[in-house]
Structure 1
Amino acid sequence: MSQPVVNQSIPRRRRRRRGSAESPPGTVVTYLRVSTSEQALSGLGLEAQRATVAAYAERKGLTIVGEHCDEGISAKSLRGRPAALAALAAVRAGGAAGLLVAKMDRLSRSVVDGAGLMEQAAREGWALHFADLDIDTGTPAGEMAANIIISGSQYERRLISQRTRDALAAKRARGERLGAAPSLPLEITRRIVAERANGMTFQAIADGLMADGVATARGKARWYPATIKAVTTSDNAAEVA
């Protein structure tokens, strides 16, 4: 039995994107994401995704013309993922005929975001490839299947979030310490809290610390927005506030 084909050609019902040149057929940009700083530092999560999209592209006869990667970012929506927005912008500008991700949940675990992306792809005439699903999101059946899977992912994310809140509440009730490890110097915690209070973004704070050669609590040279956020919500931050 032949395998289903995922958006290898743009259906005739799709419109050409307004204001952009026709994209080279069979071209894609890839989007990769790992949600924790540890995964970003090890590189294992990114390499696994990179291998998955490369194998998919070879199997489907697609040409990868660009890569966008969010490292250490676990934002719930696309608005908090700059590389994802850049990848979408590249496709919409005509730089490629489609967007390829290794797993659907790397791009979206939100019903609103996922459904909106599929609708946008169909309306504007670009392909949306999910290597883990191997379904055509341009067909009614494929779109329905993808929406079901996105709904399941969102449900799982919300369950995990609720379990985390319950666990943290239980720790607080027992008087246990929460948040970043106390090995981070107090003056660094104070600096992070002050810069955040002055309106700086997590990324800007991280960039500043790296520019000044400040090490993380674990002695690492690289700071991530998620690490900065963890410091600002820790018990250490409450003590210096």
Structure 2
Amino acid sequence: MAKTKTAPANTVVAYLRVSTDEQAESGAGLMAQRAAMQAEADRRGWVIVAWKEDKGASGKSLGGRPALAEALELVESHQAATLVVAKLDRLSRSLVDFAGLMDRARAKRWNLIALDLGIDLSTPAGEFLASVMASAAQWERRIIGQRTREGLAAKKAAGVRLGRPVTLPAEVRHRIRSEANSGSSLACIARGLNADEVPTAQGGKKWYPSTVKAVLASQHPTVTAAAGA
């Protein structure tokens, strides 16, 4: 039975990020992060196998950051044992995203270290702090969900229509309503709109009977057109 490949415990990938074009151009933010991680590597005997930098990238989510994707690939393919950041917000400003990364690290057996907060999944203290933050992330998810539900309920109670805003010009809505009231079928109205190259509410080029029906229902739910061709 083949052994699972593991990286030497002292090998790390250093990840750096700056969030604005000015920081990316000046390099000041990157230099400070690099200096902090290099000093810690010298102190702890780490071998930095790669430096990965995302310049001018937002920390609101994990998406859209190619250097982070490369860093994660290195630890998950066991070319390094640990992913290191100088500050937690360089990795993510979202507790939910960070909690997801911790779960990913545990499941795929690599370590995660954030120097500013002392997070280190390989130590009891660091793992305890990470667990506290994971609990906070769960609380954050539930609070956001509760506020969203309460907000939608309040709008509904106030008579606010929920869903996508109407973006169809008034003259197009009037045309559809008039043709329907004149006895034109849904399919016939759709064919006419397509022939005249009238865009749909979402900017599409193709009308269907169901699309026409939705427009009619949004104006007068009791008004329907004949379903024949």
TM-score tier (shorter): 0.5 to 0.7
Note the C-alpha offset of 1:146: 4.0
Unaligned stretches of 5+ in structure 1?
Answer: 1-17, 155-241
Task: Confirm or deny that 1:128 pairs with 2:115.
Answer: no
Task: Confirm or deny that 1:47 pairs with 2:28.
Answer: no
Residue 121 of structure 2 corresponds to 137
CA 1:47/1:112 → structure 2, altered by over 3 Å: closer, same or farther?
same
Q: Match of 2:48, as an amino acid?
A: I
- Larger RCO, structure (CA 8 Å, separation 6 or more): 1
Note the C-alpha offset of 1:95: 1.0
Residue 67 of structure 2 corresponds to 83
- The CA distance in 1 between the partners of 2:73 and 2:3, in whole Å, is 13
Note the C-alpha offset of 1:112: 2.0
Q: Is the 8 A contact 2:16 2:54 kept in 1?
A: yes
Matched residue SS, 1:68:
strand
CA 1:115/1:47 → structure 2, altered by over 3 Å: closer, same or farther?
same
Residue 21 of structure 1 corresponds to 5
Task: Confirm or deny that 1:105 pairs with 2:89.
Answer: yes
CA deviation profile, 1:65-93 (whole Å, cap 9, x unmatched): 10110001115211121111111011101
Query: How many aligned residue pairs are there?
Result: 137
Unaligned stretches of 5+ in structure 2?
Answer: 142-229
Which structure has the larger Rg?
A: 2
Q: Match of 1:127, as an amino acid?
A: N
Note the C-alpha offset of 1:60: 2.2
CA 1:150/1:62 → structure 2, altered by over 3 Å: closer, same or farther?
farther
CA deviation profile, 1:158-191 (whole Å, cap 9, x unmatched): xxxxxxxxxxxxxxxxxxxxxxxxxxxxxxxxxx
CA 1:48/1:27 → structure 2, altered by over 3 Å: closer, same or farther?
same
Q: Match of 2:19, as an amino acid?
A: S
TM-score (norm 1): 0.51
Note the C-alpha offset of 1:150: 7.0
* Identity in percent: 48
- The CA distance in 2 between the partners of 1:36 and 1:103, in whole Å, is 16
Q: Is the 8 A contact 2:18 2:24 kept in 1?
A: yes
Q: Is the 8 A contact 1:29 1:65 kept in 2?
A: yes
